[in-house]
Amino acid sequence: MEISCLLDARAGLGESPVWSAQEQALYWVDIIAPALHRFDPATGACHDWAMPSAIGCVALADDGGMLVALRDGIHHFRPATGALRRLAHPEGDVPGNRYNDGKVSPDGYFFVGTMDEATLSAPRAGLYRLGPDGGVVKIRGELIVSNGLAWSADGRFMFHSDSKAQKLYRYDYAGGVPSNPQIIARPGETDGRPDGGATDQGGLYWSAGISAGVLNAYTKTGRLMRRIALPCAAPTMPCFGGADMRTLFLTSARHHVAPERLAALPLSGGLFALRLDAPGVAIPAFPMARVPHTGVIK
């Protein structure tokens, strides 16, 4: 399989690729050198917006702006002006945590998780849901590193992982509420700990195996159907895009990669792409119309 490096970005911690069908462009973030990036695959053009603190994830909003999760909460960001407006900060009272993986659900909620950045071992992180009314609901707690959010093509299932606990979950999903969590896989270090994820129209969940330099494809029951070795040491998150939604974009990291691994895989931290048979599940934009300036934890 041909895997191309679209951009030798040398990102410390590249994450959260999001495809804009309207712009035919890819947005992604570097958490460590905090910035939002835009890449145009047709021209190779890049644009960058520096952020005031670590940016865990980004999502499109339907008003032309974006949602960005910074250290001090979830913000609305306008690329045209650089303006940031905080919407909510559900973990303002948890020192040592930061926001991590986030994604808009098929029915327009923004789900975002946190992680124990201080020790990478304490189950003190959570998963939250920001609604179109600005309200924030805590979905679950006792996570170490919340990650891997994605939904099945029919919207009936939500996938989610705890990277450091090495657990991949599937939930039933309806009306903005995930329920009945089931552990469907426990990928270890050599399998590829589950980082970010994306789903295709054929029923597979594609998981970045950050610890093994691989991309793993699972069925909804957790059966491993495919494993693809990658030209980077630490893949972080896949995202489907392109005109036919059959291009899988992939971010990666250089941070904490051993020098000998970087010598063998010098493109680590780059932005990659490969072509797959089944098109991906499109991620909607977050509806901003009714969102007030602050959120309330219920």
- Is residue 105 in some structural domain? yes
Strand 83-88's sheet: what is its strand order?
A: 57-60, 66-70, 73-78, 83-88
DSSP state of 102: E
Residue 294 confidence (pLDDT): 53
**Which amino acid, residue 21?**
A
Say how many Å lie between the first and final Cα of the chain, rounded.
Answer: 47
Task: Judge whether residue 228 has pLDDT over 80.
Answer: yes
CB atoms within 10 A of CB 47: 12
72 is catalytic: no
Q: Which helix (H) or strand (E) element contains residue 28?
A: strand 25-30
- Is residue 289 in some structural domain? no
- Is residue 25 in some structural domain? yes
- Is residue 171 in some structural domain? yes
Q: How many domains does the chain have?
A: 1
Residue 59 belongs to domain spanning: 3-275
| Percentage of the chain exceeding pLDDT 70 | 98
- Is residue 287 in some structural domain? no
Which residue in 162, 191, 195, 200 is the catalytic one? 195
Indicate the Cα dihedral angle 127, 129, 130, 133, nearest 10°.
Answer: -150
Count CA within 13 A, CB hemisphere, residue 4: 8
Task: Judge whether residue 297 has pLDDT over 50.
Answer: no
Residue 29, C-beta contacts closer than 8 angstroms, at least 6 positions apart: 14, 15, 16, 35, 36, 37, 51, 55, 56, 57, 58, 68
pLDDT in tens, 150-171: 999 999 999 999 999 999 999 9
- Is residue 292 in some structural domain? no
* Rounded CA separation 165/100 (Å): 15
Residue 295 confidence (pLDDT): 46
- Is residue 179 in some structural domain? yes
Task: Judge whether residue 4 has pLDDT over 70.
Answer: yes
SS3 content of the chain, % helix, strand, coil (to 5): 0, 50, 45
Segment 241-252 shows an average pLDDT of 98
Residue 293 confidence (pLDDT): 56
Tokens of 20: 């804009």
What is the average pLDDT score of the chain?
96
Reported as a pLDDT band with limits 50, 70 and 90, residue 290 is confident
State the burial class of residue 42 (Cβ atoms within 10 Å of its Cβ: 0-12, 13-18, 19+): exposed
Specify whether the CB–CB gap between 179 and 168 falls below 8 A: no
Residue 298 confidence (pLDDT): 36
Q: Where are the alpha helices (DSSP H) in the chain?
A: 259-264
Task: Judge whether residue 211 has pLDDT over 60.
Answer: yes
- Is residue 294 in some structural domain? no
Segment 143-152 shows an average pLDDT of 98
pLDDT in tens, 186-209: 999 999 999 999 999 999 999 999
Tokens of 142: 């006792």
pLDDT in tens, 88-144: 999 987 899 999 999 999 999 999 999 999 999 999 999 999 999 999 999 999 999
Task: Judge whether residue 289 has pLDDT over 80.
Answer: no
pLDDT in tens, 35-54: 999 999 999 999 999 999 99
CATH number at residue 81: 2.120.10.30
With helix as H, strand as E and coil as C, how does 200-238 read?
ECCCCEEEEECCCCEEEEECCCCCEEEEEECCCCEEEEE
Residue 92 confidence (pLDDT): 87
**Which amino acid, residue 95?**
P
Residue 263, C-beta contacts closer than 8 angstroms, at least 6 positions apart: none
Task: Judge whether residue 296 has pLDDT over 70.
Answer: no
* Torsion sign across C-alpha atoms 120, 124, 128, 134: negative
Residue 102, C-beta contacts closer than 8 angstroms, at least 6 positions apart: 16, 56, 57, 58, 59, 67, 69, 74, 110, 111, 112, 113, 149
